[in-house]
Amino acid sequence: MYRLLIVDDEPIIVEGLFDLFQAYGAFPLEVYRAYDGEEAYEIARRMRIDILLTDIEMPGLNGIELNRSVHRLWPDCRTVFLSGYIDFGYVQASLRGGALDYVLKTEGDEAIIAVVEKAIHQINEQLQVEQLIANAEKQVSAAQPLLRKEYLLELLSGEQSTEASRRQQFAALHIPLQADQPVFLVAGRIDYWRNGIQQKDKTLYTYSVNNIFEEFVSHSYHIVHLPYASDRMLWLVQLRRSNADNGDAMDAGHACRYLLETMESIQSACASYLSLSCSFVVSSQAYGWDAIPARFERISLLFSRGLGLGNEMILSDQHLLSGESRQERTKVKRIHLLGQYLERKEPDKFYALYDEIMHETVDQPSVQSGAALEIFYSLTAIFIAYLNERDLLQRVSSEINVNPLLSFQEHASLRDMSAYFRKLAEKLFEQGKDENAQITNEVVRLVRSYIGDHLSKDLSLERLAQVVHLAPFYLSRLYKQQTGQTISDYIGEIKIARAKQLLTHSAMKIHEVGSEIGYDTSSYFTRFFKNATTFTPQEFRDMQK
């Protein structure tokens, strides 16, 4: 959708061109009009203008000054100057001012349409896919550290991934790790901060600790540094292929011992150079990517249940709890992802994770086990929050019994509990589809109702978007997706139908019929009607008699 602003101090010129381009169908145009430079500039301040079609000689703010002002707001706007006579001084001034072209009012409609089409073609060329991709790549490059952090935190929280998807993401985000190779985890904690230290200084110190870490470790390992709290950081560490492929490469046990012993040197360097007390936990072996979430949680827990002094610790994750119980705990920890999938309306991901979490839980002998209770109340919190946000609790309670959602004792077994929450999820996903369809249908109904009641008024895309409280571009795309036709096509159909009705059943004059459907001059109403029906309004009226 392109926005065209027509400016002239002669109302008859403005109205004629406005009607001409309102009836123009080769490109989607949203047409605005102004009767002097100041009014045009106010319109440009409120919305983006793609094409400025303006007279040069106007009182107050003339066309050349208006062109400069609009280009300061919208640098990509194309300007076409109109004039009643040839003045080569004006031609040169307008082209030097960045105008696309110069056209005489006396050249007629075809010449004016041609130069506007030229502007549209230039806009399209500028927006070629290659340019958009190049710009997007620049933005992604600038945002890459944040995107890398978000992706790795998703993996650590238990988001499922495949070797192929990891390889693709690692390449896109320039993560220097192998998607098919195991990794060591090294977690660090700054035990305490000096009083009065500011957040920006904390960030600098965190990255300084990483610099020290890399000085000691990077010669043998690929490293990714991931700060995940103000005083916490994690390193994903993988043996370099050059080292892993030679015959003297250290085995997993040796690698773990090497990292543990190196931590002492890193800890001392942090104390000496940064005056920081730091603790570290090193994984006892390199783990596959699917095992990373459980190991990350285990390492984090070691910080809060550490040994000895509590400060300046260096531990291995072999301390604390059996692998089997930790694996079960990790599944429970991933329940929060179910809430995200429910919000984003991703049923396939929801059911896959839900079934994985519940697979072993439902076979536990005790309904009152700690894991079962935690799962129940976590699911209850997710579903109640979802229902409350959408004011759906009362509605859903009329279709499904909500007592088992609120009381653990309502479930005879863990298998019953699992089946209940799955059924509730199915109901909410189904309701979500219906809700989307209802909202979209209501938007279409409101737009059509407004058009039908305001045929002689402003029916610009911007005005219709205000009626339904959506962005103009989004409304245009939503309407086309839902109905299969553009809003402008629908407006044209309704206007033609109304005109036919008035021409057949009323004694209104031709220009009155045109005014009734938004055409202020009979010439442009006649052109619009003939383009749509192949008959002039008078010919159509005569045929009905």
Using CA atoms, how far apart are residues 539 and 530, in angstroms rounded to an integer? 10
> Looking at the structure, do residues 471 and 528 belong to the same domain, yes or no?
yes
Asked if 190 and 266 touch (Cβ cutoff 8 Å), the reply is: no
Distance, CA of 400 to chain centre: 34
CATH number of the domain to which 190 belongs: 3.30.70.1230
Would 73 be classed as within a structural domain? Answer: yes
> Looking at the structure, do residues 149 and 287 belong to the same domain, yes or no?
yes
| pLDDT of 339 | 87
The SS3 call for residue 518 is: coil
Which of 263, 287, 321 is at the close of a domain?
321
> Looking at the structure, do residues 242 and 309 belong to the same domain, yes or no?
yes
> Looking at the structure, do residues 278 and 341 belong to the same domain, yes or no?
no
Which of 103, 127, 151 is at the close of a domain?
127
Asked if 66 and 7 touch (Cβ cutoff 8 Å), the reply is: yes
Sheet holding 314-316, edge to edge: 221-229, 232-239, 184-190, 278-282, 314-316
Would 327 be classed as within a structural domain? Answer: no
Could you give phi then psi for residue 79, rounded to 5 degrees? -110, 130
Using alpha carbons, select from 42, 97, 98, 95 the residue that is nearest to residue 73.
42
355, HSE (Cβ side, Cα atoms, 13 Å) = 6
pTM: 0.49
Alpha helices in 223-274 (DSSP H): 241-244, 252-269
Using CA atoms, how far apart are residues 49 and 516, in angstroms rounded to an integer? 28
The SS3 call for residue 489 is: helix
> Looking at the structure, do residues 301 and 180 belong to the same domain, yes or no?
yes
Would 362 be classed as within a structural domain? Answer: yes
CATH number of the domain to which 464 belongs: 1.10.10.60
Would 537 be classed as within a structural domain? Answer: yes
Which of 386, 416, 431 is at the close of a domain?
431
pLDDT per residue rounded down to tens, the chain (545 residues): 889 999 999 888 898 899 888 887 777 888 999 999 999 999 999 999 999 999 988 888 988 889 989 999 998 899 998 877 655 555 555 555 556 777 887 788 888 999 899 988 888 887 776 677 777 777 767 788 888 999 999 898 878 788 999 999 999 899 999 999 999 999 999 988 877 788 888 889 999 999 999 999 988 899 999 998 888 999 999 988 655 444 444 566 677 788 888 999 999 999 999 999 999 989 888 999 988 888 888 788 777 665 545 688 888 877 554 444 445 555 566 788 888 888 888 888 899 888 888 876 666 655 556 777 888 888 999 999 888 888 888 778 888 888 888 888 888 888 888 899 999 999 888 877 766 677 788 899 999 999 999 998 888 888 898 999 888 878 888 898 889 999 988 999 999 999 999 999 999 999 999 999 988 788 888 888 998 899 999 999 999 87
Residue-wise DSSP of 13-66: HHHHHHHHHHS--SS-EEEEEESSHHHHHHHHHHS--SEEEEES--SSS-HHHH
Number of structural domains in the chain: 4
Would 133 be classed as within a structural domain? Answer: no
> Looking at the structure, do residues 345 and 309 belong to the same domain, yes or no?
no
Using CA atoms, how far apart are residues 158 and 294, in angstroms rounded to an integer? 8
> Looking at the structure, do residues 159 and 103 belong to the same domain, yes or no?
no
> Looking at the structure, do residues 308 and 190 belong to the same domain, yes or no?
yes
Six-digit token pair at 38? 């100041």
| pLDDT of 106 | 77
Using CA atoms, how far apart are residues 426 and 355, in angstroms rounded to an integer? 13
The SS3 call for residue 2 is: strand
Would 13 be classed as within a structural domain? Answer: yes
| pLDDT of 538 | 93
Six-digit token pair at 267? 């800890």
Range of the domain at 532: 454-544
Q: Which residue has the tokens 């309704």?
A: 494
Would 189 be classed as within a structural domain? Answer: yes
Conformational region of residue 345, where left means phi above 0, alpha means psi within -120 to 50, and beta covers everything else? left
Could you give phi then psi for residue 191, rounded to 5 degrees? -65, -35
| pLDDT of 288 | 92
> Looking at the structure, do residues 151 and 276 belong to the same domain, yes or no?
yes
> Looking at the structure, do residues 275 and 150 belong to the same domain, yes or no?
yes
> Looking at the structure, do residues 283 and 149 belong to the same domain, yes or no?
yes
CATH number of the domain to which 37 belongs: 3.40.50.2300
Do strands 184-190 and 232-239 pair parallel, antiparallel, or not at all (unpaired)? antiparallel
Using CA atoms, how far apart are residues 459 and 237, in angstroms rounded to an integer? 61
Could you give phi then psi for residue 519, rounded to 5 degrees? -110, 115
Would 383 be classed as within a structural domain? Answer: yes
> Looking at the structure, do residues 159 and 289 belong to the same domain, yes or no?
yes
Q: Per DSSP, what are the bridge partners of residue 78?
A: 51
